[in-house]
Structure 1
Amino acid sequence: MIASLPMYDRPELRTETDRFWQAIRESLGHGPDHLTRGGDPWDDWQSPDLLLSQTCGYPYRARLHGRVALVGTPDYSLDGCGPGEYRSVFVARAKDARTDPMEFAAARFAYNEPMSQSGWAAPAAWAEAHGFEFTDTLRTGSHQASARAVAEGGADLAALDAQTWRLMQRFEAFTTELRVIAATDPSPALPFITAPANDADTVFRAVETAIAALPSETRNALGLRGIVRLPPEAYLAIPTPAPPRA
């Protein structure tokens, strides 16, 4: 069996993430001894041996829906979001005088990857709703690289998963050179999934029990407040914009 929690698995939080998995495993009564790390997440997500993982809403609606079972959605209690929601924050250099993403329509926009809800789909949809599109784009490979590109002048604007941004502010000194100028509307947060042959309700209850059993310092370190049930339709209803030009 495979278990992975790749989406917020920062090196500084490995102990807490491992503790979270062990609590889930104890509640389930079975599962791998250790989390899988370092491989291709697509291989894990689509494996018939997948017991638990976390994916992004965009991959779920674009490629994984119907191939995995939706377990539930973690609640990170993010500002401006309801239970089980997250959003993207637009970050610019702190010394940049511009205060609205619309002012960056012709500027360089850094994004992590095309199939990222928070890094591309949400900000692109926000731009479309405001009558423009990001045409000068820079693919960076990660939210952290996008933020660093803005801080170092390689790009002018980026959109970051609000939970990722919260963690980056805790651990990355260069984030003091950035500031949030706007945020997208909330959408369903990054879902937990399992292989379709597994009982998703049983896995949900195990995750729910594990979160409640974690020491408060572990929950606080991970930003976890609970897990909620959202239907697949909540993810499938999110619009998918055109891919970036570069």
Structure 2
Amino acid sequence: MYNVSPLLRADWITLIDRVAETLQHADAPVILTAVDPGEESDALHAFWRRDDVLLSQTCGYPLMHGLAPHVRLVGTPRFAVPGCYRETYSSAIVVRAKGCPATLAACRGARAACNSADSHSGMNALRHAVAPLARDGRFFGSVLHTGSHLGSLAAVANGEADVAAIDCVTLAFAAEHCPALVAGLRQIGSTREVAGLPFIASRRAGASLVTRLRVAMRQVLHDDAGLRSRLRLQDIVPSTVANYLPITAMAQEARMRGYGALR
């Protein structure tokens, strides 16, 4: 979910490879093969439901909207970036640095960019933040669906949109790996913190295997300080679906205010 550059992709693959090596030395070896499911939403949803997936990462919004019965939670990441606290994260509300509103309230009638209609960080969190400000179920002048957080950053930067909510981990990686993309932007707010994007395995994976997987991930991160630093990934902590209930609550709160869709 945080694959914003070739260098960063290589580090995520290294993590997978090292986890595979660790598991292969256990009493019951397991082989992990890196698979790229693509970025299209339908392809990702199909991939997450495969019964041979041992390690992937999803967004909390799909998890709480149909995916949970099909997967087991390996754990929740603890990232060391601004906007994260322990195993929670938030979205940064960003605009262009010049000539754009200074507050979310001042964005009424502006053009919003959103990575995906089923994203917590780009849609649900922003919808929740905007709900108290909406009038008759509307706040923005228009909403552009970009397909990714990098696409949303680009849309704001080049003037196609005026405001977007960006996963704070993605924003940190973008600032490091794609600095030109964020150079002309500024943050005007943050959304409510919720549990970070969970690592998952197929429901077919037994509880003991999932525990071994989490232990292996933590061991790899512990043993390689450089990899841990580059991924900004400090730990993987045990979690349950209950940790993600605040995501559902935020959606419900927005709907109760008459703001059921980002618009």
What's the TM-score, normalizing by structure 1?
0.90
The amino acid of 2:240's aligned partner reads P
Alpha-carbon distance in 2 for matches of 1:14, 1:110: 25
AA of the residue aligned to 2:148: S
Which runs of structure 2 are paired with 1:199-210 in the superposition (5 Å)? 199=207, 200-210=210-220
Q: How does 1:132-147 map to 2 (within 5 A)?
A: 133-135=138-140, 136-147=142-153
Preserved CA contact (<8 Å) 1:137 1:244: yes
User: In the alignment, what sits opposite 1:159?
Assistant: 165
Structure 2 unaligned regions, length at least 5: 255-259
Partner of 2:188: 181
Letter in 2 for 1:185: R
Q: Which moved more, 1:66-75 or 1:90-99?
A: 90-99
User: Partner amino acid for 2:89?
Assistant: Y
Structural RMSD (CA): 1.7
User: 2: CA distance between counterparts of 1:12 and 1:134?
Assistant: 38
Residue aligning to 2:231: 222
Alignment check: 8 A CA contact 1:114 1:243 kept:
no
Indicate whether 1:191 and 2:191 are aligned. no
> Which residue does 1:236 correspond to in 2?
245
The residue type equivalent to 2:194 in the other structure is S
Alignment of 1:101 onto 2:104: yes
Letter of the structure 2 residue corresponding to residue 192 of structure 1: F
Q: Is residue 2 of structure 2 the alignment partner of residue 8 of structure 1?
A: yes
Structure 2 residue corresponding to 1:22, chosen from 2, 5, 17: 17
Q: Deviations over 1:75-128 (max 9, x none)?
A: 102324321111100110010252111110210000011000100000110111
Shift of the 195–175 alpha-carbon distance from structure 1 to 2, 3 Å rule, reads same
Q: 1:93 to 1:28 in 2, by over 3 A?
A: same
Between 1:127-136 and 1:217-226, the stretch displaced more is 127-136
Tell me which residue corresponds to 1:91: 94
Deviation at 1:187, TM superposition (A): 0.7
Equivalent position of 2:50 in the other structure: 47
Query: Is 1:36 matched up with 2:35?
Result: yes
Normalized per residue, the structure richer in helix is 2
Count of residue pairs the alignment pairs up: 238
SS at match of 2:99: coil
Identity %: 33
CA distance in 2, matches of 1:220, 1:72: 19
Deviation sequence 1:210-246 (CA, Å, 0-9, x none): 22122x221111111111122211212322252335x
Residue 31 (structure 1) shift: 4.2
The answer as to whether partners of 1:23 and 1:213 remain within 8 angstroms in 2 is: no
Long gaps (5+) in structure 1 = 1-6
Q: Structure 1 residues 19-28 or 149-158, which shifts more?
A: 19-28
**CA–CA distance in structure 2, aligned partners of residues 112 and 134 of structure 1:** 18
**8 A Cα contact 1:123 1:184, kept in partner:** yes
Amino acid in the other structure paired with 1:217: G
Q: Secondary structure at the match of 1:204?
A: helix
Q: Which runs of 4+ in 1 moved over 6 A?
A: none
Amino acid across the alignment from 1:222 = L
SS of alignment partner, residue 54 of structure 2: strand
Amino acid at match of 1:55: T
Moved more, 124-133 or 88-97: 124-133
